[in-house]
Each structure stands twice: as structure tokens, then as C-alpha cells.
């Protein structure tokens, strides 16, 4: 585990579609920071389902996100999360990730709390998420396991 000082961290709550990050790679203080390649590195190294996403797909997922949060330390992206929302009834959290070596120090909580506090999410009737291994993490953030509903998935045959 790597420890950090809170003042070394910068959390950015991006505007809808994250245009600065997506088009210019902007990071803290709106400076060019190669943000897309740093996000790709986090995706490739720290979550099993986000490995090998290409730049075009990462730009597309950012463009389609209502809110995105990046967490920076020493010029690297060490945390990420995003959400889609209709602004009133339903929102869904996606791709919540913290670098392995910095986990269990409250950073995942910061990312999710920043998403939930954003104006497009904070008044929504229900926020959904899907998780394979992180139920305890979401439980302590106020999410409840839903036993009444079934998760259905239709996968695209044409996905590249």
C-alpha cells in the first residue's frame, strides 16, 4: 500500500461529456496533462472489465457520461468514476476505479460521493449500479442489495 497526503490529491468533477479531458487531455487547473492516456493506463491496469479500451472508445464513453470524476496525484490519474443520469428519476454509476496500491484509504468513497453530490445526480429518485466484487464498498455508501429485481443483459454481437 502507498500512503499519500490529502493535499497531494486533486479531484475534478468534469462537465457533462468531460470535454476538457476528452478533447484536450486537461487535468488539474485546466492544464494539458495527457489525461486520456493516463485514464487509459488506469483502465488497463486497475480493473478487469476496462482493460484494452482504445482511445476512440474512451472518448465515446466520456462523451456519453452525464458526470465524470477524476482523482489525480503527482500528475497521474489514480481514481475515476462516471455516471449517466436523466436528472430526475434514474442514474447509473459506471467504472468506479482506484489504483490498487492506494485502495482502502477512502479514495473510492471520495469518487462516489463526488458523483452523488453532482447536480445531475443529487436529486434523482434512484441511483443504480452493478458490481461483481465490491458489494461491501457500496453498502457502506448507503446502497442496498436489491433482491426484488433481476439484472438482464443483452450483449451486442457486433461489439468490436
Ligand X SMILES: CC(C)(COP(=O)(O)OP(=O)(O)OC[C@H]1O[C@@H](n2cnc3c(N)ncnc32)[C@H](O)[C@@H]1OP(=O)(O)O)[C@@H](O)C(=O)NCCC(=O)NCCS
Contacting ligand X (CB under 6 A), which of 58, 71, 96, 127? 96
Is there binding between residue 104 and ligand X (CB under 6 A)?
yes
Nearer to ligand X, 27 or 108 (CB): 108
Is there binding between residue 2 and ligand X (CB under 6 A)?
no
Is there binding between residue 92 and ligand X (CB under 6 A)?
no
Is there binding between residue 78 and ligand X (CB under 6 A)?
no
Is there binding between residue 105 and ligand X (CB under 6 A)?
yes
Over its C-alpha atoms, the chain yields an Rg (Å, rounded) of 15
What does the block give as the cell for 112?
462516489
Cβ atoms of residues 107 and 98 within 8 Å = yes
Rounded to an integer, what distance in angstroms lies between the CA atom of residue 66 and that of residue 92? 10
Is there binding between residue 149 and ligand X (CB under 6 A)?
no
What single-letter DSSP state applies at residue 102? G
Cβ atoms of residues 103 and 157 within 8 Å = no
Instruction: Summarize as ranges the residues that interact with ligand X (CB under 6 A).
Output: 47, 96-98, 103-109, 131, 133-134, 136-137, 140
Amino acid at each position: 500500500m502507498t500512503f499519500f497526503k490529502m493535499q497531494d490529491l486533486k479531484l475534478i468533477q468534469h462537465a457533462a461529456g468531460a470535454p476538457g479531458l476528452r478533447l484536450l487531455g486537461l487535468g488539474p487547473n485546466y492544464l494539458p496533462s495527457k489525461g486520456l492516456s493516463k485514464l487509459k493506463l488506469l483502465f488497463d491496469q486497475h480493473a478487469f472489465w476496462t482493460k484494452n479500451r482504445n482511445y476512440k472508445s474512451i472518448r465515446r464513453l466520456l462523451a456519453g457520461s452525464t458526470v465524470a470524476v477524476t482523482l489525480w496525484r503527482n500528475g497521474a490519474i489514480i481514481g475515476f468514476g462516471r455516471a449517466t443520469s436523466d436528472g430526475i428519476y434514474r442514474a447509473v454509476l459506471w467504472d468506479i476505479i482506484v489504483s490498487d496500491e492506494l485502495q482502502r484509504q477512502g479514495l473510492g468513497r471520495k469518487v462516489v460521493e463526488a458523483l452523488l453530490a453532482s447536480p445531475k445526480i443529487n436529486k434523482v429518485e434512484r441511483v443504480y449500479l452493478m458490481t461483481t466484487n465490491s458489494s461491501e464498498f457500496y453498502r457502506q455508501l448507503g446502497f442496498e442489495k436489491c433482491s426484488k429485481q433481476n439484472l438482464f443483459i443483452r450483449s451486442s454481437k457486433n461489439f468490436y
